[in-house]
A and B are shown apart, each in its own frame.
Chain A
């Protein structure tokens, strides 16, 4: 029996032996039972902290992305709205060719038309004009009944890309049987070096006036 074997030893040695056995047992249990759990728990804690940081970064990026997406959409809408007022070079030429027929179409009589504008070149690069945008000025004098002049102004107002009417003057004299002599100064914003590809892209955002007819 173990007790018999222990008899020759002193109490202190017996206690030390038992304590050593218990200590060894506890260490062995820790090594084989608890240590894997502890190691796994430590690894999970480290991984958990990384996951938390990634999740926080994900939330931050997600919020920033949502704000940027809203900004991007507002910029797209603003660009589409602004491009309604800008002609391509081809479109501007087409508008110029179709302007006089448009006047006659509504029943007005063309009195004078100056595509060079009043005292300025037809297409000029103004000093304060932004890069890539040219201004095209057209002076137009037409004679017609008030309804015909209104129709002309309506057609010009509905045209897309927009035609900017800088000045408008109407004169009614007795000698013209109630007709109105209308003098208009038109301004067209033309995008420089716009290509067909750009035209195709812009066709998705700009609405061309339904009554504008290309000049053959």
Chain B
């Protein structure tokens, strides 16, 4: 049992009605959230799937939205005819295959002979069980009920007889209220009477009897019930270590009698007041609350766990289990296939996009001409290397030959000298060597006149420096001056040499 589940739906389906209860567990123990009951058409001993499905859908609608959760767990308590419950004492030597042992014992029951059975068993008592509770019913009847529930949207996880379910709910309340874990419960159905005795919380006795056909009046029915009650008492009196029986609780599930009319008659017939007669559905806390089926509550408690009666039998047919397993398997496989196909689809979408993007990038590079012109560029680069090498070989001797040579603007210089000479200064000689220095000689009337020539030459802007290097007065009659001016020519481009 998964403890995290706190809410479960219990269903009680008998031949006369269907009850549902929504039960939740919490810190204060289990509580019934909602409950509903509907009677099935009288006179129809079979549970027709269509009718049950419609009734179930109506009951779920009454429970409201809380009962429609997709993950709601549901347990079904059934009282069908025939349904066999037996307590089997295990032999001292434990059988190797316990299942086959139980099935062999159940096949010996007359009501189920020749039928396809669905059966289950569980250990009774604490510790290593020495007794087994074996339960069997017709597989088609149980399968029919499960299909009806499935058609209504209820996924039934467990199917058990009504007696253990009712005992679970009753003992849970009885232990809390009176700290008593013993009870004798007799479920009176339309065709059978099932009696179970719980002592110290453990199922100690169980018996299923068919109702006599002539016990149709309350008096006859109570007489038969008292006789059955006395038989159980006699069994316990003759049984070693039997002890007194717990009080008996007769639960009416047949739908044809009422507890308040049957109880005094039964007390009179049995001669004891330790027999209580109750209806299957107990009234709610107030008059507005619907009646709650203790059997449905017990079935839900079986799923929620924590009950004092730990009987766990499950009559869900193997075909249903296999069908659910197949469905889960198919669902899982389908999901895996869908995921695989989705992955392949996404990959098949992504890969061409990635390839396309790369293709476009390569195409862009190709359009830019980088692919087919590289070889031509290489050839051109090699040709340029050869040409540069050839040109350098040609240029190098020319550079060496013409290094330091400059073109002196002689007409301009001569014109500048003539323009710079004042009237009292004459130029008799000029001489230039190596295109750098210019020496100007001549006669001047006076030193200031020679200085004027120097300044005028400087003003021409053709020379880097103009310097009056010598002045010498002549010894002849006129007394003029011989001068000599040294000029340093500007280099080509106007820079200093």
Q: Which residues on A are within 8 Å of B, measured CB to CB? A: 3, 6-7, 11, 14-15, 18-19, 21-22, 25-26, 29-30, 33-34, 37-38, 40-41, 44-45, 47-48, 51-52, 54-55, 57-59, 61-62, 64-65, 68-69, 71-72, 75-76, 78-79, 82-83, 85-86, 129-133, 135, 146, 149-151, 153-154, 156-157, 162, 164-173, 189
Contact = CB atoms under 8 A, between A and B. Distances in A.
Given A30-B344, A146-B414, A44 B359 contact: yes
A83 B388 contact: no
B411 A157 contact: yes
B24 to A, nearest CB: 33
Contacts of A14: 329
B217 to A, nearest CB: 51
Contacts of B394: 79
B365 A15 contact: no
B381 A171 contact: no
A1 B93 CA distance: 44
Contacts of B333: 18, 21-22
A156 to B, nearest CB: 8
B388 A71 contact: yes
A61 B326 contact: no
Nearest to A3: B326
Contacts of B427: 172
7 contacts: A25-B337, A38-B351, A79-B391, A153-B410, A157-B409, A167-B432, A170-B430
Interface string B297-329: 000000000000000000000000010011001
A107 B137 CA distance: 152
Nearest to B397: A130
A71 B352 CA distance: 48
Interface string B361-385: 1100110101101100110110011
Given A157-B409, A170-B431, A48 B358 contact: yes
A44 B330 CA distance: 40
B348 A34 contact: yes
Given A25-B337, A68-B384, A72-B387, A51 B362 contact: yes
B28 interface: no
Contact of B433 (A6, A129, A167): A167
A189 B402 contact: yes
A16 B74 CA distance: 31
A68 B394 CA distance: 17
B337 A167 contact: no
Interface residues on B, range: 35 or more
A195 to B, nearest CB: 15
Contacts of A168: 408, 410, 430-432
A65 B377 CA distance: 8
Which of A37, A64, A83 is most buried by chain B, counting CB atoms within 10 A of its CB? A37
Contact of A6 (B326, B355, B368, B388): B326
Contacts of B42: none
Given A19-B336, A170-B429, 4 more contacts: A18-B333, A21-B333, A25-B337, A172-B427
A85 B402 contact: yes
A54 B333 CA distance: 50
B354 interface: yes
Contacts of A71: 388
Given A41-B351, A48-B362, A150-B411, A72 B402 contact: no
B355 to A, nearest CB: 5
Nearest to B330: A3
B395 interface: yes
A132 B397 contact: yes
B358 A165 contact: no
Contacts of B434: 166-167
Contacts of A40: 351, 355
Nearest to B439: A169
B191 interface: no
A157 B410 contact: yes
A29 B81 CA distance: 55
Given A72-B384, A131-B397, A172-B429, A57 B411 contact: no
A97 B123 CA distance: 144
A119 B134 CA distance: 148
Given A30-B344, A47-B362, A133-B397, A173 B355 contact: no
Nearest to B348: A33
Contacts of B410: 150, 153-154, 156-157, 165, 168
B391 A82 contact: no
B435 A165 contact: yes
A85 B403 CA distance: 11
B411 A86 contact: no
Given A130-B396, A167-B434, A54 B340 contact: no
Given A72-B387, A189-B401, A37 B340 contact: no
A82 B431 contact: no
B385 A68 contact: yes
B411 A170 contact: no
A22 B435 contact: no
By Cβ-Cβ distance, the 8 closest A-B pairs, closest first, are A130-B397, A37-B351, A153-B410, A82-B398, A130-B400, A75-B391, A169-B431, A58-B370
Nearest to A167: B433
B179 interface: no
A154 B409 CA distance: 8
Given A6-B326, A133-B401, A68 B411 contact: no
A51 B397 contact: no
Contacts of A156: 410
Contacts of A51: 362, 365-366, 371
A100 B329 CA distance: 121
Given A130-B401, A153-B410, A170-B429, A79 B371 contact: no
Nearest to B402: A85
Contacts of A166: 433-435
A15 B433 CA distance: 113
B487 to A, nearest CB: 13
Given A40-B355, A41-B354, A54 B370 contact: yes
Contacts of B414: 146, 149-150, 153, 170
